[in-house]
A and B are shown apart, each in its own frame.
Chain A
């Protein structure tokens, strides 16, 4: 610690340069955190997926339906514990920009298949008795300032019913047990949906979700289900919920690759900027470093000072992560419904700090080694 005065004094030698360098770190780390959060958001489907859940969709495409009549046959397969089904409703609340996902659910089995999405029993019972009832995620409730009992009009866009407004009563609110659980969904009952859709769509569901007794049996069960409906008018494609979520994200393109590419460019640029800054900073005080060596500071001590300065800059630059902690929740609220929940995780913060330290180290190591190897007599001639 006795050397800290020297390190800090050197850091504050050029205040504007110090601020700009710390600013570079802060901006890069903020961007890193934001990209990490977006990446997490897109991959969260896979992360939050139940290990014991399988998703069954129409082999042709998810927009093609599957007969409800498959349910009982699937339920008879050994190892299948619960099964439920969903339909995508795709309605609009007041304006298109107010997007949030609406699902037609099977109230009988919803809670058994998604135990992590919790609805209080009294609210659930009210919902079951209310044909026009809806259960809404806590985030969407907060976003629109809805209250229990509010009547919410949702304009349909699909199923040949485009333009009609369906009205729902908010009977309950669900909360996720984990921070990463999606709390933006809007659920209403299958029966209410089925009675309003055209005849050709009655008895047609969007996809099944089932829970199995043992995740180790997932592959066998998936194979059995797909084999069971092979050569039928609605062949199925069964996969784990995690694989399904990953496939869904892939439809947007290789987001992970895009984000990693942007992140790499940002950090490489940061490395060049800070590396150049450290090189200039060391070059400017070559004679001073020579004097330190002349009076007995070792080569390693000189390297340590330079690395220390760079590390302090990178640590202070982590203010960008703190900024992300403040700003991302605000962004998450603003973008609710348009993107999956933006959530900054400890993992992102730890990676950010590690990345900052690595850049700090990498940017100072070459100038530091140069200073370490510098001959005192040569450096003193530059005075």
Chain B
């Protein structure tokens, strides 16, 4: 169950409490997130929406351990990440987070296979084991036949599917998707969303997604809006979401 009131169960996969993020621009403090609370359980699929500059990507970065909050805590699977050192956070990300970016962010000089293999280079898997994993991941995203193609030889949708294979290859605790369809046409966007839904439905993945697109957001189990630095529930609450946020 997803909740934004700070009263979620202690067993939540992701637990965010009183999250503040303030940027300083010149002499002005910009409070992007203010006392944000969030609880996400394993297998949830949450979409974050909000106007530009509302802090969606900032929230994703904080959840993914790419940035540190001004105040508050983020706990994932029992690990409180907000006070981890830079090095520990890097290790943590490798084990727990799969990133999917709007611009795919594949390494252009590596083939699809090599791009997907990257996270496994940080493991102790043998070359043969890595190959097996990569082939499986590429098969899941439907690109087994394209494993030796370079990103420039793939369409945008295919590139994003390779990026998804890279995100899931190390079997992370959750996936963070930042506008995963933002650079795709509708058909490709649908394919990518179908894939993400399959990851949630068939493989039990937990997905947190930022999007501007209401069509895409509707495919999540729940859509939350970022307004004035806190999350508020939008629309129906099929998963029993409790609306709210920190004061």
A-contact bits for B34-76, CB 8 A (1 contact / 0 none): 0000000000000000000000000001001011000000000
| Chain B residue nearest in CB terms to A379 | B66
Give every chain B residue within 8 A of A298 (Cβ-Cβ). 87, 90-91
Q: Is B195 an interface residue (CB 8 A)?
A: no
| Chain A residue nearest in CB terms to B127 | A2
Give every chain B residue within 8 A of A10 (Cβ-Cβ). 109
User: A287-345: which residues lie under 8 A (CB-CB) from chain B?
Assistant: 287-288, 291-299
Among A5, A295, A297, A299, which residue has its beta carbon within 8 angstroms of that of B110? A5
Task: Given A5-B114, A294-B64, A296-B93, answer yes or no on A383-B109 (Cβ-Cβ < 8 Å).
Answer: no
Contact in complex: B109, A294 (CB < 8 Å): no
Q: Is A3 an interface residue (CB 8 A)?
A: yes
B-contact bits for A362-383, CB 8 A (1 contact / 0 none): 0000000000000111001001
A291-B110 Cα distance, complex, nearest whole Å: 14
A73-B124 Cα distance, complex, nearest whole Å: 82
Interface of A is mostly: helix
Task: Given A377-B66, A377-B67, A383-B101, answer yes or no on A294-B121 (Cβ-Cβ < 8 Å).
Answer: no
| Chain A residue nearest in CB terms to B119 | A295
A-contact bits for B120-162, CB 8 A (1 contact / 0 none): 0110000100000000000000000000000000000000000
Give every chain B residue within 8 A of A375 (Cβ-Cβ). 67
Task: Given A5-B114, A13-B109, A288-B107, answer yes or no on A295-B101 (Cβ-Cβ < 8 Å).
Answer: no
Task: Given A2-B121, A13-B109, A296-B91, answer yes or no on A376-B101 (Cβ-Cβ < 8 Å).
Answer: no
Interface of B is mostly: helix
| Chain A residue nearest in CB terms to B178 | A380
What is the number of contacts between chain A and chain B, taking CB atoms within 8 Å? 70
- Shortest beta-carbon distance, B176 to chain A, in Å? 9
| Chain A residue nearest in CB terms to B93 | A296
- Shortest beta-carbon distance, B179 to chain A, in Å? 11
Interface size class of B (residues with CB under 8 A): 20 to 34
Q: Is B86 an interface residue (CB 8 A)?
A: yes
Contact in complex: B103, A299 (CB < 8 Å): no
Q: Is A6 an interface residue (CB 8 A)?
A: yes
A293-B93 Cα distance, complex, nearest whole Å: 9
User: B218-232: which residues lie under 8 A (CB-CB) from chain A?
Assistant: none
A299-B91 Cα distance, complex, nearest whole Å: 11
Q: Is B193 an interface residue (CB 8 A)?
A: no
Give every chain A residue within 8 A of B95 (Cβ-Cβ). 296
Q: Is A159 an interface residue (CB 8 A)?
A: no
Contact in complex: B94, A295 (CB < 8 Å): yes
Q: Is A12 an interface residue (CB 8 A)?
A: yes
| Chain A residue nearest in CB terms to B111 | A9
| Chain B residue nearest in CB terms to A12 | B109
A360-B94 Cα distance, complex, nearest whole Å: 30
Contact in complex: A297, B66 (CB < 8 Å): no
Beyond A295-B166, A296-B93, A299-B87: 14 further Cβ-contacts under 8 Å? A2-B127, A3-B121, A5-B114, A9-B107, A9-B109, A288-B108, A291-B99, A291-B105, A292-B118, A296-B90, A296-B91, A296-B94, A296-B95, A297-B90
Report 27 cross-chain contacts, Cβ distance below 8 Å, ordered by A residue. Answer: A6-B107, A6-B110, A6-B114, A6-B118, A9-B114, A10-B109, A13-B108, A13-B109, A287-B105, A288-B107, A292-B107, A294-B66, A294-B99, A295-B99, A296-B90, A296-B93, A296-B95, A297-B118, A298-B90, A299-B90, A375-B67, A376-B61, A376-B66, A376-B67, A380-B66, A380-B105, A383-B103
